[in-house]
Amino acid sequence: MSEEANFVTHLECSLTGKKYEKNKIHGLSDDGKPLLVRYDLKKMGETISRDDIGNNCEPGFWRYSFMLPVEKKRNRISLGEVVTPLIKLDKTLKNLSFNSIAFIKDEGLLPTSSFKARGLAMAVSMAKQLDLSHLAIPTNGNAGAALAAYATKAGMKSTVFCPDDTPDINVREIERLGANTYKVNGLINECGKIVLEGKEKAGWFDVSTLKEPYRIEGKKTMGLELAEQLNWKLPDVIFYPTGGGTGLIGMWKAFNELLELGWLKGKLPRMVAVQAEGCAPIYKAWSEGKEFAPLWENATTIAAGIRVPIAVGDFLIIRAINESKGFSISVSDEEIIKARDEVSQKEGTLLCPEGAATFAAFKKSLNSGTISKDESVVLFNCASGLKYPLPKVSKFIDKSKPIDYTLF
């Protein structure tokens, strides 16, 4: 198999099915909905096999290059991606009525320490393929860092807009990685309006969540990677922290492509969209049996990455939930903090708030009977916990005074 084998046929409106030509610059469809990349899966299945993945020496998710849209190896922008580990939960399960296996997939080991590296690596690589030179994005932190890093590596200009309460460490990281970085007195959707208006006025290309076709293809690799790690037998349930929903949509797309290729063993997993109680538009819409999720007013949560008041791909998230016979669930900030501390102090893994939300949702779902004690589970930790504010350490030893060793 050629390293540059490519099977893209066209792009397709996710709502109407209208087809769009490949290798052209596209944003949303004519109907204002996300575009999805389509492949000749029949030809792909006749040309490659699962063994070809193991023989591909490209780093991390680029090992799946034949299932991705980038046509030439020279256009693949890499920062040394890795296959992120599955960490088995142990001590945190002892007091739960749970008889199966649960893993955390720790995306914090990717470049810029978050899963946003997957989507933005793909978006920037396709921008290079399409000869774009200036990219812009609204961000709650991690997407901006990933864009800045990959755009800098590709020699492109990047401009990033952050809500003014974005964690300071994230804002500093974005600027140090080369982006023109601005704080905005508003939420991420309001930063997005600035990016949208600037397309004509500033001449940049908008790489906001699902407003271009390729971030979803990068996030799709989470599903491809998970399937390979589990020997092509997927877990019963996947808990995913959901803001814009690119990852959940992308994984569901990956699973269906793998199913059509005949590479999977067993059934597809139930997909669970985890949101924070202070910003839960998807949970509310799904609970009410709706297809689209209206704007969530006055959004607030410590889990900045899922503080997304409105998602352009709302119907795709809800579609994936329903097709998989999954569900959505919301958890409180208090539950998120408790989950973060429990996992870090019992398992030795420091989850980000969004990742902690999945553990809180897992426990809540187990206790309510929404999932059974015999179902296998994977939780996604989307970034390193070190990228977020942590409690201060107050304990102090004065070396000039006698030390009371009975304290230890």
Q: Supply the mean pLDDT for the chain.
A: 96
Residue 5 pLDDT > 90: no
pLDDT of residue 2: 60
Using DSSP, state whether 202 is helix, strand or coil.
coil
- Residue 144, pLDDT score: 97
Contact of 295 with 309, CB cutoff 8 Å? yes
The structure tokens listed for 311 are 């998602």
pLDDT, residue 3, reads 62
User: 43-52, 333-342, 376-385: which has the minimum mean pLDDT?
Assistant: 43-52
Looking at residue 149, its pLDDT comes to 98
**Average pLDDT for 396-400:** 94
pLDDT for 69 beyond 80 = yes
Percent of the chain with pLDDT over 90: 94
Give which of 313, 235, 240 is closest to 274, Cα–Cα: 240
pLDDT band (50, 70, 90) for residue 53: confident
- What Cα–Cα distance (Å) separates residue 384 from each residue in 258, 277, 323? 29, 22, 31
Domain 86-113+214-387: CATH architecture, name and number where available: 3-Layer(aba) Sandwich (3.40)
The C-alpha atoms of residue 69 and residue 76 are separated, in whole angstroms, by 10
Which pLDDT band, with edges at 50, 70 and 90, does 376 fall under?
Answer: very high
pLDDT exceeds 60 at position 294: yes
pTM over 0.85: yes
User: How much is the pLDDT for 357?
Assistant: 98
- The one-letter amino acid at 97: S
For the segment 44-64, the average pLDDT, to the nearest whole number, is 90
Measured over the CA atoms of residue 260, residue 263, residue 267 and residue 268, the dihedral's sign is negative
Tens of pLDDT, residue by residue over 183-225, are 999 999 999 999 999 999 999 999 999 999 999 999 999 999 9
pLDDT digits (tens, 9 = 90+) for 133-152: 999 999 999 999 999 999 99
What pLDDT is attached to residue 57? 80
pLDDT tens, residue by residue, 346-375: 999 999 999 999 999 999 999 999 999 999
The Cα 255–Cα 268 span in angstroms is 7
pLDDT digits 0-9 by tens, 89-110: 999 998 888 999 999 999 999 9
Which is nearest to 359 in space by CA: 337, 375, 379?
379
Q: Is the pLDDT of residue 1 over 60?
A: no
